[in-house]
Amino acid sequence: MTSGFSLHDWLLGMGRNLLRWLLGWWTVVFIGAELAVLAFSPSSYRRESRGVVLRQIYYAAGPGLPGFITLMALFNVVLIRILVVTAFAYGLTQYALDAVVRVLVLELIPLISALYVAVEYTIPGGSQLYKLRRSGALDALRTHGVDPLSREVLPRVLAGMFAVLLLALLSGLMSLVLAYVAVHGFTTAGLPSYNHAVGNIFNPVVTMIFTMKTLAFAVSVALLPVANALRDIPRRPSRTSVELQGLVQMFVLMLVIEIASLVGNYY
């Protein structure tokens, strides 16, 4: 009877944890749907609201942009050199550029850009929003007739998405330039073959998958910390729990997105 009672408690606990997990994801989806409606609403972009959005975009992408580009340039030079030298050593010269573009531009750059924005902006922003909620500042906005989603939440989500897309775009262009220099050197003679090789890689299907993956990374990184800051986490009300909850959900969702993109690209 003791084992049966323990099994019953274990199953009951598993059921509660599963229900809590499903409710957490439902809250994320619901908040995301509300923000999507607000994002396409003209009333969200009045003069005062535009100022808040632009300010958050600067906080998300401006201060860290020079350092990120510098680190990405060093990372690109090292990784491109490793890939090119390895391809040349094994007599696979014709595949060197293909490997560089696929590994760097298609796979690593969107992931690194999303993680950088998450660490530098969206997770700290989610913590700030959580403190505003706990202090009653969001309720005070409601009492003054101001929607907290439009004033405090939507600008952070839009800024996080913009930062991921901007960093991924700049890093991708820089990687393509550095890859050309590593393979062909400082000459324009290799441009026709380079354009042909890159064009073959970025066919319509791969381009669509790459765009959707980068956008999905941007949405997950921008939305999950904010959504967890706005919902109640039973028995774990601390700020650290909110950050960890958002981080775990973010990694799980990004892993699913990456696996889906790999299946679409290579299977």
**pLDDT of the residue at 236:** 47
- pLDDT at res. 232: 57
190-242 residue pLDDT tens: 888 888 888 888 888 889 999 999 999 999 999 888 888 877 554 444 444 55
Work out the angle between the directed axes of helices 154-184 and 109-117 (0-180°, nearest 10).
140
The per-residue pLDDT for 111 is 92
Q: Of the given ranges (2-16, 50-64, 65-79), which has the lowest mean pLDDT?
A: 2-16
Determine the pLDDT at residue 237. Answer: 45
Whether residue 262 has pLDDT greater than 80: yes
How does pLDDT run across 24-69, given as a tens digit for each residue?
Answer: 778 788 888 888 888 888 777 777 777 888 888 888 888 888 999 9
- 255 or 28: whose pLDDT is higher? 255
Distances (CA, A) of 124 to 42, 58, 131: 28, 15, 11
- How many CB atoms within 10 Å of residue 207? 12
Average pLDDT, the chain: 82
Q: Which residues fall within 8 angstroms of residue 191, CB to CB, at 6 or more apart?
A: 180
Rg (CA), the chain: 22
- Predicted confidence at residue 161, as pLDDT, reads 93
Higher pLDDT, 103 or 233: 103
Contacts of residue 36, Cβ cutoff 8 Å, sequence gap at least 6: none
Find the mean pLDDT for residues 246-252.
79
Tell me what pLDDT residue 252 has: 85
Does 22 have pLDDT greater than 80? no
Helix axes 109-117, 204-230, angle to 10 degrees: 20
